[in-house]
């Protein structure tokens, strides 16, 4: 089985299709992710966050470290800042954790993240919007095995990987009547319980950079594809204009 087939088969697990909340299904609305794959500084910071916080449990089996040269990093910068001593620049991005141990601890094997940003599009928004909302939606929950829950993905098996940066927050709910019953609904607001090492604005920027990198990683050649597509359209317009003028010249003496 090829890597791409394995990735496609793992997508339902990665997305939590059975339990993930969606705006069209009564869940929380997804926030708009600040995606801009032309911003190399954002992509580089996102790659740093991904390697330091995500590769502990998740892999990116279709991505090699040396591909990061496409976002402006040199081979030496990759070696100095993004590799462990036993890894090489040409290696794939493998998870540090043993999959068997991960399944024992979390109840499921952490999914590969190579295509995660391209795959969770829906009525709530793009895959990037979903991840952006998810990564900013963790809160403490003593009833969960990991001690964490998520407003965008209730009963998530993953603990909050960036909690030291964000600190601990509490979602704010309000009661309202629905179908004759009083229910609590998330207001979209949060209360800061303990501070993190980043302010809210800094953390949102960091998560935006991470999501931007994940969006790029799902298709590293998308920038070139778009650029080539623009030139193809321009050439087609030139061809149409030339064909129109040739047609006019050919038929101008025909009565």
In order, the DSSP letters of 34-76 are ---TT-HHHHHHHHHHIIIIITTT--EEEEEGGGGGGGT--HH
- pLDDT band at 239; cut points 50, 70, 90: very high
**Is 90 exceeded by the pLDDT of residue 128?**
yes
pLDDT of residue 184: 85
Reference 93, options 208, 205, 220; nearest CA is 220
pLDDT of residue 59: 92
**Is 90 exceeded by the pLDDT of residue 73?**
yes
What integer best gives the mean pLDDT of the chain? 86
pLDDT of residue 253: 79
**Is 50 exceeded by the pLDDT of residue 203?**
yes
CA-angle at 226, arms to 224 and 230, nearest 5°: 115
pLDDT of residue 120: 72
pLDDT of residue 22: 40
The SS3 of residue 208 is: helix
Mean pLDDT to the nearest integer, 18-30: 53
The lowest-confidence range among 19-28, 124-133, 148-157 is 19-28
Mean pLDDT to the nearest integer, 228-233: 92
What's the whole-model pTM score?
0.78
CA–CA gap between residue 223 and residue 16 (Å, rounded): 29
- pLDDT band at 13; cut points 50, 70, 90: very low
Q: Which residue has the higher pLDDT, 5 or 131?
A: 131
Q: Are 134 and 153 contacting, i.e. CB atoms less than 8 angstroms apart? A: yes
**Is 60 exceeded by the pLDDT of residue 33?**
yes
pLDDT of residue 123: 55
Q: Give how far Cα 189 sits from Cα of 99, 132, 159, 171, 243, Å.
A: 36, 16, 21, 6, 59
Instruction: Give me the phi and psi of 94, to 5 degrees please.
Output: -100, 150
* Helices 200-218/127-135 angle, 10° precision: 150
Reference 45, options 215, 232, 205, 254; nearest CA is 205
Question: What percentage of the chain has pLDDT greater than the value 90?
Answer: 62
pLDDT digits (tens, 9 = 90+) for 84-123: 877 899 999 998 888 788 788 878 888 899 999 988 766 5
pLDDT of residue 27: 67
Mean pLDDT to the nearest integer, 158-180: 91
Reference 151, options 192, 109, 199, 185; nearest CA is 185
**Is 90 exceeded by the pLDDT of residue 1?**
no
Bridge partners of residue 178, in order along the sequence = 181
* Dihedral over alpha carbons 236, 242, 246, 252 (to 10 degrees): 110
Q: Is residue 217 classed exposed, middle or buried when 0-12, 13-18 and 19+ CB atoms within 10 A define those classes?
A: buried
pLDDT of residue 20: 41
CA–CA gap between residue 229 and residue 247 (Å, rounded): 27
């Amino acid at each position: 089985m090829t890597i791409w087939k394995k990735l496609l088969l793992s997508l339902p697990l990665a997305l939590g299709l059975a339990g993930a909340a969606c705006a069209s299904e009564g869940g929380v609305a997804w926030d708009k992710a600040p995606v801009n794959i032309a911003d190399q500084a954002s992509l580089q910071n996102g790659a740093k966050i991904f390697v330091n916080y995500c590769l502990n449990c998740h892999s990116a089996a279709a991505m090699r470290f040396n591909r990061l040269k496409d976002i402006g990093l040199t081979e030496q910068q990759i070696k100095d800042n993004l590799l462990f001593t036993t890894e090489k620049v040409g290696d794939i991005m493998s998870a540090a954790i043993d999959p068997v141990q991960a399944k024992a601890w979390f109840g499921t094997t952490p999914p590969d993240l190579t295509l995660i940003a391209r795959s969770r599009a829906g009525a709530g928004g793009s895959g990037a919007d979903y991840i952006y909302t998810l990564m900013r939606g963790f809160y403490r929950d003593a009833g969960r095995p990991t001690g964490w829950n998520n407003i965008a993905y209730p009963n998530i098996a993953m603990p909050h990987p960036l909690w030291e940066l964000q600190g601990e927050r509490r979602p704010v709910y309000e009661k309202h009547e629905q179908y004759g019953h009083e229910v609590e609904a998330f207001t979209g607001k949060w209360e800061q319980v303990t501070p993190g090492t980043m302010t809210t604005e800094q953390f949102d920027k960091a998560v935006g950079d991470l999501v931007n990198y994940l969006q790029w990683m799902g298709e590293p050649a998308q920038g070139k594809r778009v650029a080539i597509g623009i030139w193809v359209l321009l050439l087609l317009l030139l061809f149409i204009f030339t064909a129109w003028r040739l047609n006019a010249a050919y038929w101008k003496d025909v009565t």
